[in-house]
Amino acid sequence: MKNGKRITDATLSRRAVLKSGAALIGSTALGFSPWAWSADSSGPIKIGHLTPLTGFLGALGGYAVKGIQLQAEQINAAGGVLGRKIEVISEDSVNPQVASTKAQRLIERDKAVVLLGEISSASALAISQVAARNKILFLNTGARSDSLRGKDCNRYTFHADIPVTVLANAAGLALDRAGLIKGKKLYGLTADYLFGHDLAKAVEKFVGSHGGKMIGNALVATDVTDFSPYLLKIRQANPDVIACNLAGNQVTNFIKQYAEFGLKIPLAGFNLNIADAWAAGPGNLSGIWPTVWQYKLKTPGSAAFVKAFEAKYHTQPENHAWVEYVSLKILAQAMTATKSTDTDKLIAYLESEAKFDILKAREAYFRSWDHQLMQEAYTYTVMPPDQAKGPHDFLVLGDAVPGANQPLEILAPPRSESLCHM
């Protein structure tokens, strides 16, 4: 799966699909007859899938591939879409330049009808530009930069993951309730690329509007592994709270070194993927962190997904596995509803604010004007090490935000503040 090696669902055995119970789950979750539209049998529906499988986001990309492969198996075991099999072609996106080249190749050579995936915001921007030039749908599954939904938006790109403003607001509200924002001095550590810059802006805005003050912010290159110079800067600045705006395995490395350094300054976490939290470990991780999904979520859909994932891969799914899984499910629903793989028809359906079961308590929908999927988010904390029952069991999932009686858009950037003009 590395260095550009492609992965297709043709390599997956039917025996593994049946063993995981995929046929039953897939047909009921998608809500269509296993053999619907069988008259259209002109070959597989090809999905061009791009995600980082190397570099500081590579571990997250590995979960992404597992999630989309599982969904493809379940769809195909249930009869496919429009009577055709789904064929997912996964590529290592590597960096923005490589991602752009591979996206174009997936369209021209492999005849992909849709592009899906990505975690890096910089690479997602490159892919979205390719999608717009070729007039093909791109469903961004994991890149969270606000600018992708703002000044860099385009008609052909939709966004399944939560943006940085939602991360900042969800975590910020929980941190403020814990007394870590109002009246506090915060010092930020920020990943030095598009995502980190957008997150730092959102965090500074939240902190300022809730009575706190940012007294410094250090940009950290994505290849940094030694955080001792930054920890010394933090000690010298003497903040009340550290605002962590890092990404990928940056966060894991920082948290481990922070614990070893012996600083007692509380952490305000604004981005930490579940896999990176697991890698940090219960003895090192502390604080309150935001997430879009976690495997302990108690809904029937999530429970079925976790059971199937564990049966196939013998581990718990991470949030990027979940978002890829539900994103392909969303595309299958759109194709079934429109009886088509035509880009314009799919865009019109997604813009109609159709509802999607994404395995949470509330259904989700795309906003028509910036193509952001409106959905619940969560925060999580860390249980004492002696209470954990396994290597992944030490995270405590909080309640969904917004609350059940609040609109889903309450944490997201409003249209009045958006620079998106399609």
The CATH code of the domain that includes 110 is 3.40.50.2300
In a domain, 2, yes or no: no
Q: Which residues of 94-120 are buried (b: 16+ CB within 10 A; e: fewer)?
A: bebebbbebbbebbeebebbbbbbbbb
Contact yes or no for 327/114 (Cβ under 8 A): no
Q: Are residues 281 and 200 in the same domain?
A: yes
Q: Are residues 139 and 84 in the same domain?
A: yes
In a domain, 342, yes or no: yes
Q: Are residues 202 and 153 in the same domain?
A: no
pLDDT value at residue 51: 98
In a domain, 103, yes or no: yes
pLDDT value at residue 98: 98
Q: Are residues 17 and 149 in the same domain?
A: yes
In a domain, 227, yes or no: yes
Q: What is the DSSP string of 54-70?
A: SGGGHHHHHHHHHHHHH
pLDDT digits (tens, 9 = 90+) for 288-299: 999 999 999 999
pLDDT value at residue 287: 86
The closest alpha carbon to 144, from 267, 356, 292, 293, belongs to 292
Task: Provide CB contacts within 8 A for 136, sequence distance 6+.
Answer: 107, 112, 113, 114, 115, 156, 343
In a domain, 261, yes or no: yes
Q: Are residues 16 and 148 in the same domain?
A: yes
| Cα separations in angstroms, 112 against 28, 95, 103, 177 | 26, 20, 9, 47
Q: Are residues 180 and 73 in the same domain?
A: no
Structural domain boundaries enclosing 381: 165-291+377-417
pLDDT value at residue 281: 85
Q: Are residues 210 and 125 in the same domain?
A: no
Q: Are residues 250 and 285 in the same domain?
A: yes
Q: Are residues 158 and 40 in the same domain?
A: yes
pLDDT value at residue 7: 52
Q: Are residues 271 and 198 in the same domain?
A: yes
Looking at the structure of the chain, the number of domains it has is 2
In a domain, 1, yes or no: no
Straight-line distance from the first to the last Cα atom of the chain, in angstroms, rounded to the nearest whole number: 35
Cα separation of 325 and 83, whole Å?
Answer: 20
In a domain, 241, yes or no: yes
In a domain, 422, yes or no: no
Q: Are residues 105 and 120 in the same domain?
A: yes
Stretches in the chain below the pLDDT threshold 50: 1-5, 8-41
pTM of this prediction? 0.87
pLDDT value at residue 15: 38
Q: Are residues 144 and 173 in the same domain?
A: no
